Each structure stands twice: as C-alpha cells, then as structure tokens.
Amino acid sequence: MTALLAGCSGGSGDSGDVTLELVAADYGDSSANSSKKYWDALSKKFEAEHPGIKIDVTVLPWTDVDREVKEMVEDGKAPDLAQIGAYADYAAQDKLYSADDLLSIPTQADFLAPLSKAGEVNRVQYGMPFAASTRLLFFNEKLFKSAGIEPPESWSELQAAAQKLKARGVKIPYALPLGPEEAQAETMQWLLSGGGGYTDNVGSYDIDAKTNVTTFKWLKDELVGKGLTGPTQPGKLNRAEAFAAFTRGDVGMLNGHPTLMQMAAKKGLKYGMVPMPGINGKAQSTMGVADWMMAFKQNGHRKEVGEFLNFVYSTENVLDFSREYDLLPVTTSASQAMSEDKEDSEKLGQFLEELPASQLYPVDKTSWAQVSVQVKKYIGKTVDENGNPEAILGQIEAKARAEENAR
C-alpha cells in the first residue's frame, strides 16, 4: 500500500510515469468472474495505448468498498478514482473533479439523461454513472398457467392474481421484501407505481405525500391484510430470501432485477417479466439504480484521470462490462448497440426499455444515506396488522427533513 500510495503521489522513479489508484466494487459472485479480471484486462489495454500512465486497481466486495474509500479519504489518502455506491458526500466537501473537468464533450453527452441528472449536485455533474439496472415484475410461468392467470397490468389485477395463486396453495403469492436488506428499493418501486416517490417535483422530500400514504394503505389492506404475501411479515423478509424462494417455485410474483434471471435460469425455473403494474394500468415510471464512478482532486492527476475515463466509457468497454455482469449500459451508444444485438435484446431488452424513463433514488442529497436507513428500519411497520401508514411515513418524512436541514 505504501508503494502504491507513493505512486499516486508522485509517479514512479525517473520514468515520469503517473500511477492512478482505482478502488472498485466487485460485481462477481466468485473468483472466476471477479471484477478484478475485468479491470486488470482493461488497465493492461489502456496502458499499452497510453505510455506513461499506470493503473493500480483494488477491487473490494460491496460490503466493504464504500467504507474503505471513506476511511481512505478521512485519512488524507484518497484514491484517484473510486467506483462505489454514492458520491454526494464527497461532492459536497469539494473533494471531486466535475465531469466537465475530466470528460470530452462526446463522452459526457453519451450518458443516459436520467443517470447523468442523478449524478448532479447543484446542476454540476460529479457522479459518473458506471452500472445501471431497472426493475420488472417477475412471475412464475408454470404457476400462472396452471391458475389461468394473465400477467397483471394494474393493482386490482395483481391482487386478483395473488388471490388465485393463494387458492391453489402457492406459499407466497406476492413476495413483498420490506426487510432491512433493501427495503428502500421495494418501497420506491411501489411509491412510483402509485404515482408518488421519495421527493416532489422540485426535489424536496415528500415521503408522507397523500399518494404515498394511499399506496401503503393499499398494500396493508389489500395484499398483506388478505394473506397474499406469505407467512413471513414483509418487514422481516429480505430481498435475497425472496429471490431464493422464487427460484424454488414458492413465489408467484415479485419485483426483480437482471440478477434474478441468472438465479432462475440456474434452477431451471421458467419465468416471465412485465412492467410494474400501477393503480389503473402500467406504472408511469419504474425505479432505476446506478452505481457511480468519481474522481478525487487530492492527487492532482486531472489530465491522466480524464484520459483513463474517456477510455473506460468507450462503447466497446461499456458493453463488455454490461454483458459480463448482466447490467444495463449507462451510455446511449452502448444501449443502442445492445438493443440492436439479438442476443442482448432477448436477454435484457425489457430492462433496457424501462431505463430511459426510470427514476433513481435522490442520490444527489447527502442526507439520502441516512434517510435510506430510516426507510429500512421503519417501512415494514406500515403494513403490520396494527400499522399506521400515515403516521409511520410522517415519522420518516420528519427525520428526512431534519437530516436534510442539518446538512
């Protein structure tokens, strides 16, 4: 580490080389497909074309990477680049280069609009999207066929389908994972399908809006209250458990992302996917998720970092990463290429269609990390037997506003 940091600070000996340190998250699920292999190959190719710039890559699991980068920054040893889950805190502390500082105009303009906008703080882009995903409603084809059910397009149709599945003995007609692992995602998907969201039209928190209260009252009364979400209380059901139950054939339907396709395929489970139902038809927008690339100013390698990032975001390299990990491209050119490729389109086409109109978490807010913790902690209580959606959403909203005002 000492040698690596020395390289970041001043190059390598008499050669005049600049060494850029990149800390990145691991998207692989084994050593065989670790992101380390992707970055090593990419760095080798870049270094061959850009003599004088070396890339040192550290790949860490998602459970550690955000914390490790935070500690490096606090210790005054920020990496040149970090590919992690959040950027807003560092932007607020003026520790990051803006995208304008680093990227060519064609590269920056190639980012998909909702992702580019989500990377902005005060209308300046600091977070560069690196990987993206959307959500669709997955359903068990065998269970639906045996019950004579068509994929739902509205809440009433979803409830009717769940009732038919329950009548046929399906253990979990609709899986509603509001447990602490990723409750903020399931929550946002339902808020959007009800015409609401975490924020209002001007970007202020609006968690206890009437539309959001209506959504959770419906979930409490019409799904959970009617025994359509299985034996585990939603507040105690995590996404990983819900996904595993789906691949076992115990779940009729649930919200999922592309990873669930891989899991289901490995189990030989036949499934279908449709857009998330809304109150009276297809939801107007779905939830998008993005992970972020950011560049720290501490080491002063703006020019070299810019050269590397313009290389990273080439259409070819974005496609390579997206295909390796079944993620959605973050650029228009790569998205178009994937849409036009038959194999890619068959695999991820439906997710690609949802991405341009998707809405992301309010990641531009430095308060979002703490607000997300509050959602994970309390949202499951809204659908408990004695839960009060209006009161609990109001409680989360109050904490959100206090957290935002304290920043």
pLDDT in tens, 231-248: 999 999 999 999 999 999
pLDDT value of residue 30: 77
Instruction: Specify whether the CB–CB gap between 156 and 116 falls below 8 A.
Output: no
Query: 18-132+290-359 belongs to which homologous superfamily?
Result: Periplasmic binding protein-like II (3.40.190.10)
Give the C-alpha separation, 241 to 175, whole Å.
10
pLDDT value of residue 11: 39
Domain boundaries, the chain: 18-132+290-359, 134-287+363-405
Instruction: Specify whether the CB–CB gap between 193 and 283 falls below 8 A.
Output: yes
Give the C-alpha separation, 83 to 60, whole Å.
10
Q: Which residues of the chain have pLDDT under 70?
A: 1-16
**Which tokens sit at 260?**
């669930």
Instruction: Specify whether the CB–CB gap between 380 and 234 falls below 8 A.
Output: yes
Q: How many Å separate Cα 54 from the centre of its chain?
A: 30
pLDDT value of residue 5: 36
Q: Please, how many CA atoms are within 13 Å of residue 26, restricted to the half-sphere of its CB?
A: 17
As a whole number, the mean pLDDT across the chain is: 93
Q: How many Å separate Cα 298 from the centre of its chain?
A: 28
273-314 confidence digits (pLDDT tens): 999 999 998 888 889 999 999 999 999 999 999 999 999 999
33-46 confidence digits (pLDDT tens): 899 999 999 999 99
- Bridge-based pairing of strands 251-256 and 172-174 is parallel
pLDDT value of residue 396: 97
> What's the topology of domain 134-287+363-405?
D-Maltodextrin-Binding Protein; domain 2 (3.40.190)
pLDDT value of residue 283: 83
pLDDT value of residue 6: 33
pLDDT value of residue 369: 87
For residue 11, what are the contacts with CB-CB under 8 A and spacing of at least 6? 17, 18, 19
- Rounded to whole angstroms, what are the CA distances from 359 to 128, 201, 286, 288? 16, 12, 6, 5
pLDDT value of residue 15: 47
pLDDT value of residue 120: 95
The residue among 122, 111, 114 whose CA lies nearest residue 293 is 111
pLDDT value of residue 31: 81
Q: Do domains 18-132+290-359 and 134-287+363-405 have the same CATH topology?
A: yes
pLDDT value of residue 16: 60
Q: What separation, in Å, do the N-terminal and C-terminal C-alpha atoms of the chain show?
A: 33
